[in-house]
A and B are shown apart, each in its own frame.
Chain A
């Protein structure tokens, strides 16, 4: 927009008023036109910018990248593009979203359009569209998906992994063990006489006991292990790269962690103990279900032999 334009044409007025940035550069990247959107957001009006090299006022622009874009438009005569998804912004403009949602500056989609006279590219028009709202929406959607995924993998009562997630991890680890060998163990354990706890103290207390117990165990497992609720009062611990002897040491540690102190439920003291069955992946097992079956058999023996003990399969 030239400063001395006395009667602006309709086209001039449109360029001035549209809700996105428009500017024009020549092949040497001198600014030929600068609309109001660009002026408002950059703080530099047309009179300051037009006729000067673009980079003189905006040294932070990715110069090699920008020059290549413009040159490609001059040479090919077709548009070039830049999307916020790959390059969040070109100009460091503030955005006017009250909720920043982690978005630092105005997110921008840019197009580099050839302005043709006949068959020659005369200049390149760059448009800058504010797409901050899109990026915020996308971020929120991604966060929601992560949260939903969390819920889908968690047990509602205890907050630890649910059975579905546990089995998925176990299936992965089992497949890895089948390919690469090494060691893989699991523990299955449950609270002794949990039915009595429920009957004697009520289901609310029973739930509280499960929660406290899950917290106690969760605080002692390694980060690479997966601790899940298998259902009811039954829990499972997946121990990658762990031979059976080490798994038995973990089993004893967990048994002590659960039983070392009675659980206080609203002033009622509930003594708890646990029985643990351990099993390790071995040749001849055809699927991870068979490994669960082994651990379950060991858990059954721990129960049968008097409870409050750990038993290894075999």
Chain B
């Protein structure tokens, strides 16, 4: 079980960081969107990349097609972030966010994914002492199955840090799932950073 890659203490620390990171991200997104944003307490799992689809399906109950956006992040700790949501939910984004005029649904989805990735990944890595830069978001597909999200060229990453978080905006509910994929070297750096953090407490 790859969760064993992290000790119980490290895993708890990561969960704690993710909690704080989401709180921070929610605050910043609320300010930006001028509306109360709620990010759920994230559920954190570390799994082999090959098992990511199955684990995520079990965690989220998603069986239907998803819209998936991928984005690279790089610092010493580097990897790829995926934002997934049920394809049917993408249409609601327009009404949720108010519109800036002439945006198409796919542009809006890319924007929202970029905001979620930027806020959440930065917040988590910030606790680990890293400031990542991001590559442009890329639509993997607007109606693809979870299996296919992780199949196409994804297996360069050994491990997936699944951060399952829902993103809700006042009365509406838009559920997005964030997944961070990393290779073993980056996970090791995460582990070291967690140790340092735990040690400092």
Contacts and interface: CB of A to CB of B under 8 A. Distances in A.
Interface of A: 62, 64-65, 68, 71-72, 75-83, 86-87, 109, 111, 116
Interface residues of B, number: 25
A78 to B, nearest CB: 3
B27 to A, nearest CB: 10
A83 B108 CA distance: 12
Query: Would you call the interface of chain A mostly helix, strand, loop, or mixed?
Result: mixed
Contacts of A80: 111, 114, 118
Given A71-B32, A72-B32, A76-B32, A81 B137 contact: yes
B133 interface: yes
A86 B100 contact: no
Interface string B89-110: 0000000000011111011001
A86 B118 contact: no
A75 B37 CA distance: 15
A62 B104 CA distance: 13
Nearest to B109: A86
Contacts of B115: 72, 76
A72 B34 CA distance: 11
Contacts of A86: 103-104, 106-107, 110
B136 A83 contact: yes
Contacts of B32: 71-72, 75-76
Nearest to A74: B32
Given A65-B102, A77-B122, A78-B118, 9 more contacts: A64-B100, A75-B28, A75-B31, A77-B118, A78-B122, A78-B132, A79-B118, A86-B107, A116-B131
Contacts, number: 55
B169 interface: no
A53 B104 CA distance: 27
Given A76-B28, A76-B122, A79-B118, A109 B136 contact: yes
15 contacts: A62-B100, A65-B102, A72-B32, A76-B29, A76-B32, A78-B122, A79-B134, A80-B114, A81-B110, A81-B114, A81-B136, A83-B136, A86-B106, A86-B110, A109-B136
B171 to A, nearest CB: 22
B121 to A, nearest CB: 8
Nearest to B122: A78
A130 to B, nearest CB: 15
Contact of B136 (A62, A76, A87, A111): A111
Nearest to A69: B111
Interface string B127-155: 00001111011000000000000000000
A71 B28 CA distance: 11
